[in-house]
Amino acid sequence: MRHTHPAQDARHVIDVRRLTKRYGRTTAVDALTFTVRQGRVTGFLGPNGAGKSTTMRMLLGLDRPTHGEALFDGKPYCDLPEPLRHVGALLDATATQAGRTARNHLTWLARTNRIPRRRVEEVLDVVGLHSAADQRTRTFSLGMAQRLGIAAALLGDPEVLLLDEPVNGLDPEGVRWIRTLLRTFAAEGRTVFVSSHLMSEMAVTADHLVVIGRGRLLADADLSEFVRDGEESLEDAFFRLTSGGGSDA
């Protein structure tokens, strides 16, 4: 069941200000500005190539903006002390050392962020990987890798979750589990920013939507406003907004 929408004056946790990324003559992200408030799930939508992944990489300091800035509570990600305690992120579930076990991977992350060892066991239980904790990650299916990536994002018990396509490779049970996890996280007053291609999931998970096309902001609105108060599906509203926008940004 959807929880009550937070007040409009809820704290801005993520501030994106005129964020721009150019590669030569190609502009991947173009003066993008939006905020993400605490206590709700904000969906990040756009056609393939719209600039979503580039935006998320800039949020985490993995790509340097050509112009503009992205801040978490007023600070760039790179200035956060022990960042896993503040922001939990999943961009690429396969980005682990293949020879490490799941437990070793999480233990290494915990040590580098001064997170208690017991937290490793807790998140392995949360994501349903405890029985596979001593398997090397090279043997993991995509769904298992996704669960490990989410475990890493949860490791520091952060106030912010930033996830790129978190349901990739998950079976229907796993998709439902992710949905519940995100809703619960937001209901606790934390902040969720999630990119997804699955309109059906965003329709039942997100409170608010940020939609981009060709690197530019197309919409920044509550879900109910975006779908015209229930008169159309999220998928219909999305294609209405992005049709003709192309996907080569």
pTM of the model: 0.90
Q: Which of 1-5, 87-91, 156-160, 192-196 shows the lowest per-residue confidence on average (mean pLDDT)?
A: 1-5
Cβ proximity of 238 and 45 under 8 Å: yes
The per-residue pLDDT for 198 is 87
* Cβ-based neighbours of 65, under 8 Å, separated by 6 or more: 19, 20, 21, 29, 58
pLDDT of residue 249 exceeding 70: no
Cβ proximity of 210 and 45 under 8 Å: yes
Average per-residue pLDDT for the chain: 90
What pLDDT band is residue 169 in, cutting at 50, 70 and 90? confident
The per-residue pLDDT for 81 is 87
The CATH topology of domain 11-82+194-249 is Rossmann fold (3.40.50)
Residue of 35, 104, 24, 38 lying closest to 66 (CA atoms): 24
Mean pLDDT of 37-51: 95
Per DSSP, the residues of 69-138 read EEEETTB-GGGSSSGGGTEEEES-TT-S-TTSBHHHHHHHHHHHTT--THHHHHHHHHTT-GGGTTSBGG
- How far apart (Å, rounded) are the C-alpha atoms in residues 26 and 52? 15
The per-residue pLDDT for 213 is 95
Query: pLDDT > 70: what percent of the chain?
Result: 93
Mean pLDDT of 96-108: 92
Residue of 12, 47, 67 lying closest to 197 (CA atoms): 47
- How far apart (Å, rounded) are the C-alpha atoms in residues 24 and 66? 11
The per-residue pLDDT for 22 is 96
Domain coordinates in residue numbering, the chain: 11-82+194-249
- How far apart (Å, rounded) are the C-alpha atoms in residues 147 and 126? 9
pLDDT greater at residue 249 or residue 30: 30
The per-residue pLDDT for 6 is 46
pLDDT of residue 3 exceeding 50: no
